[in-house]
């Protein structure tokens, strides 16, 4: 596993594509005490989505500094939920009630969203567990798709190679006694 951290710095923006191109997972972290930090998330998501090499990339959007939420929160969790809904463009079945909502719950399967605190290590393990589960789920899904395709190919091959012979004679393919 390789983890690359560009800290969202503009000076690394031009080379960051080289690091995450074709990545299995991209973790986009913003500071819940800084609206500009959250506003940058959309640019990173769009950049990831624009590159065809990232078509299967799992994206986790992480609000950090949860330990400062009571004193300095600027970006409410409901704003993260609204963003997730907007970019996934799907039915929104979750309620954005911060007092009862599980902050690591994934409403839809496209994006992982969670709030953490690196300072007190809150939900860091949960983040990586969610990523690991999603990676396993995606791997299994891809394997099943491959098996389904292989089954279809095997079926097509057996159907296309069926030969019927009339009058129990030995024939070669293409002669008048055989049908393929």
Selection from 44, 24, 41, 23 nearest residue 32 by Cα: 41
Place of tokens 């990232």: 54
| Angle of CA points 58, 44, 142, to nearest 5° | 15
Per-chain mean pLDDT for the chain: 77
How many Å apart are CA 70 and CA 59, to the nearest integer?
Answer: 27
- Tens of pLDDT, residues 53-97: 777 889 999 999 999 999 999 999 999 999 998 888 753 444 444
| Residue ranges of domains in the chain | 10-143
Structure tokens of 83? 């963003």
Query: Which has more confidence, 174 or 56?
Result: 56
Give percent above pLDDT 90 in the chain: 40
Fold of 10-143: Rossmann fold (3.40.50)
Could you tell me the pTM of the whole model?
Answer: 0.70
User: Band of the pLDDT at 157, cuts 50, 70, 90?
Assistant: low
């Amino acid at each position: 596993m390789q983890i690359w951290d560009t800290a969202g710095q503009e000076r690394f923006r031009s080379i960051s594509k080289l690091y995450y191109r074709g990545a299995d997972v991209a973790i986009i972290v913003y500071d819940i005490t800084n609206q500009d930090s959250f506003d940058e998330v959309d640019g990173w998501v769009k950049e990831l989505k624009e590159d065809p090499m990232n078509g299967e990339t799992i994206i986790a959007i992480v609000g950090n500094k949860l330990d400062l939420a009571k004193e300095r929160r600027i970006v409410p969790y409901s704003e993260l939920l609204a963003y997730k809904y907007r970019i996934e463009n799907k039915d929104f079945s979750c309620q954005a009630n911060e007092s009862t909502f599980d902050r690591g719950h994934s409403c839809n399967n496209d994006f992982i969203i969670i709030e953490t605190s690196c300072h007190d290590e809150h939900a860091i393990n949960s983040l990586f567990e969610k990523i690991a589960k999603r990676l396993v789920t995606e791997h299994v899904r891809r394997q099943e798709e491959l098996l389904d395709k292989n089954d279809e190919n095997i079926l097509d091959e057996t159907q296309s190679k069926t030969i019927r012979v009339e009058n129990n004679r030995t024939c070669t393919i293409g002669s008048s006694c055989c049908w393929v």
